[in-house]
């Protein structure tokens, strides 16, 4: 019987499509957004670090890690956003799109799928982060580059791409500390996937590849952490990130701090209550901590890294005192993580465009979650059937899963799931935090459709 032919794209098509999208997209958005890059409240913290780097060295330890400020310094954006910065981040976005197109082409997706992916990735909601002085767009490029290097290592069997992927992913953590443990998560995925999909233990070569990925990623973080320890007495890529993030989870249980910290407790409660009713705020008090810091420093007599250590300690005490409240806050953060991130750049202030982008977003998310549910079910059935065979012997042959496309899908899903877990467990799960993995979600949508089609076909027709 004739086999089902899944469309195969020309090897030159991804490069040609990426080049066309990059040239036309860059020209279009430079025209559409003459005011770019825009500044937000977080931008000024990055400017502060970039100014400190102006003489080629760090003179003090900052709350913001050094990865993104290095880009600001290189582009001359140490006081305000520059068009050079905007142009570079715009080009990096379309480079990331091109890299994802190459990954999809290697997975066997046809020209129409590649064109649809490219056009979606070039729409304003996916590009708007390039027009803001924030870490998301630069981090997205680094994650995609690390992902493609990881795939190249698996394809070629060489170890150098795994080491390079680890270095790139390590640097992505210097841009957004959220991704500090991503290298370890991907290394674990590389070891688990052969057993999960094919029922075999990873070979020695797979252990070495995973070890290189984890070690090179950790080496970047250890190098920066050691430098900070020697120069500033703080081991880590930046102080205060974890304590600040956890404060968004404990804002409703500050009263549970023990009496040993009565003065600190009252300072935090006053700042929280004031921020809760502040005009123009979110009225959740989740961002109260910067307002509380001056008073907290006064009553505790601490400053700098010691103050950040106290903040982390207080939040850990609160989580231990109210673990179910913490879990509730995590669960409440998850839906917000998946909401749209369209802003005035992509809507132009038009409610019609906002409605259009919102409908598109929820349509894509609906497809994404439906495919994930179907493929998770297929994987669970495969594992159950394998267990039955191991227990009672093969009554009938096991229909194998398409190992390579499934591996690609699960590796890409690792980026998305990791980002969601960290963003919602240790932070308040703002939708903007999803932005670095938006292209991964798009890739999963297109690859998931291909896998679903393959699994649904009769065995004699599937490829």
Task: Give the closest residue to 272 by CA, choosing from 309, 256, 43.
Answer: 256
Task: Give the closest residue to 250 by CA, choosing from 307, 323, 305.
Answer: 323
List the structure tokens of 18: 């990426």
Q: Across the strands, what pairs with 132?
A: 38
Over the range 50-78, which residues count as b (16 or more CB within 10 Å of their CB) and which as e? bebbeeeebeebbebbbbbbbbbbebebb
- Residues with pLDDT less than 70, the chain: 1-11, 199-201, 240, 394-399, 458-463
Write the CB contacts of 451 (distance below 8 Å, at least 6 apart in sequence).
371, 375, 402, 405, 406, 409
Contact 168, 156 (CB under 8 A): no
Q: Across the strands, what pairs with 38?
A: 132
231-287 confidence digits (pLDDT tens): 888 888 888 678 889 999 999 999 999 999 999 999 999 999 998 888 887 888 888
- CA-CA distance, 63 to 461, in Å (whole number)? 57
- CA-CA distance, 227 to 210, in Å (whole number)? 26
- CA-CA distance, 304 to 323, in Å (whole number)? 28
| Per-residue pLDDT, 463 | 47
For the beta carbon of residue 404, count every other beta carbon within 10 angstroms.
Answer: 14
| Per-residue pLDDT, 458 | 67
| Per-residue pLDDT, 4 | 36
CA distances from 59 to 55, 62, 65, 80, 343 (A): 9, 9, 14, 21, 36
- CA-CA distance, 192 to 206, in Å (whole number)? 10
> DSSP string covering 407-432, please?
HHHHHHHHHHHHHHHHHHHSS---GG
CA distances from 245 to 66, 251, 316 (A): 18, 11, 11
Contact 283, 262 (CB under 8 A): no
Contact 344, 36 (CB under 8 A): no
| Per-residue pLDDT, 60 | 85
Chain centroid to Cα 420, Å, comes to 8
Contact 138, 77 (CB under 8 A): no
Phi-psi region of 43 (alpha: psi -120 to 50; beta: other; left: phi over 0): alpha
Euclidean distance between the first and the last CA atom of the chain, given in angstroms as a whole number: 13
> DSSP string covering 368-401, please?
HHHHHHHHHHHHHHHHHHHHHHHHH--SS-----
List the structure tokens of 386: 């394998």
- CA-CA distance, 48 to 68, in Å (whole number)? 11
Predicted TM-score (pTM) above 0.85: yes
**H-helix or E-strand spanning residue 433:** none
Phi, psi dihedral angles at 236 (to 5 degrees):
155, 165
């Amino acid at each position: 019987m004739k086999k089902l032919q899944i469309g195969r794209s020309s090897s030159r098509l991804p490069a040609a499509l990426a080049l066309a999208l990059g040239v036309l997209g860059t020209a279009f958005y430079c025209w559409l957004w003459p005011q770019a890059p825009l500044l937000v409240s977080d931008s000024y913290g990055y400017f502060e670090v970039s100014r400190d780097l102006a003489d080629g060295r760090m003179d003090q330890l900052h709350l913001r890690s050094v990865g993104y400020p290095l880009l600001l310094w290189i582009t001359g954006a140490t006081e305000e956003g520059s068009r050079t910065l905007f142009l570079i981040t715009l080009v990096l976005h379309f480079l990331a799109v091109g890299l994802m197109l190459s990954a999809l082409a290697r997975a066997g997706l046809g020209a129409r799928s590649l064109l649809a992916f490219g056009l979606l990735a070039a729409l304003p909601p996916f590009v708007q982060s390039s027009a803001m002085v924030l870490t998301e767009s630069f981090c997205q490029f680094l994650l995609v580059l690390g992902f493609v290097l990881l795939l190249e290592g698996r394809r070629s069997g060489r170890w150098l791409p795994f080491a390079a992927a680890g270095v790139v992913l390590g640097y992505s953590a210097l841009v957004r500390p959220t991704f500090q443990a991503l290298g370890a998560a991907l290394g674990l995925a590389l070891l688990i996937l052969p057993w999960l999909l094919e029922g075999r233990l990873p070979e020695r070569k797979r252990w070495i590849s995973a070890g290189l990925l984890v070690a090179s990623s950790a080496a970047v973080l250890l190098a920066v952490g050691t430098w900070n320890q020697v120069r500033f007495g703080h081991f880590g890529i930046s102080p205060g990130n974890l304590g600040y993030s956890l404060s968004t989870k404990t804002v409703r249980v500050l009263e549970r701090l023990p009496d040993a910290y009565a003065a600190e407790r009252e300072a935090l409660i006053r700042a929280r209550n004031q921020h809760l009713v502040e005009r123009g705020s979110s009225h959740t008090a989740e961002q109260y901590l910067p307002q509380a810091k001056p008073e907290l420093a006064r009553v505790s007599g601490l400053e700098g890294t010691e103050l950040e250590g106290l903040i982390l300690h207080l939040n850990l005490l609160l989580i231990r005192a109210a673990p179910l409240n913490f879990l509730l806050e995590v669960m409440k953060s998850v839906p917000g993580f998946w909401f749209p991130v369209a802003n005035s750049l992509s809507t132009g202030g038009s409610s019609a465009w906002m409605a259009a982008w919102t409908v598109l977003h929820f349509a894509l998310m609906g497809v994404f979650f439906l495919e994930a549910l179907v493929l998770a079910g297929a994987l669970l059935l495969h594992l159950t059937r394998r267990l039955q065979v191991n227990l009672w012997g093969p009554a009938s042959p096991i229909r194998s899963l398409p190992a390579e496309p499934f591996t690609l899908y699960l590796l890409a899903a690792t980026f998305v799931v990791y980002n969601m877990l960290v963003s919602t467990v240790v932070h308040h799960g703002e939708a903007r935090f999803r932005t670095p993995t938006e292209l991964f979600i798009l890739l999963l949508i297109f690859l998931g459709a291909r896998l679903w089609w393959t699994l649904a076909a009769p065995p004699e027709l599937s490829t």
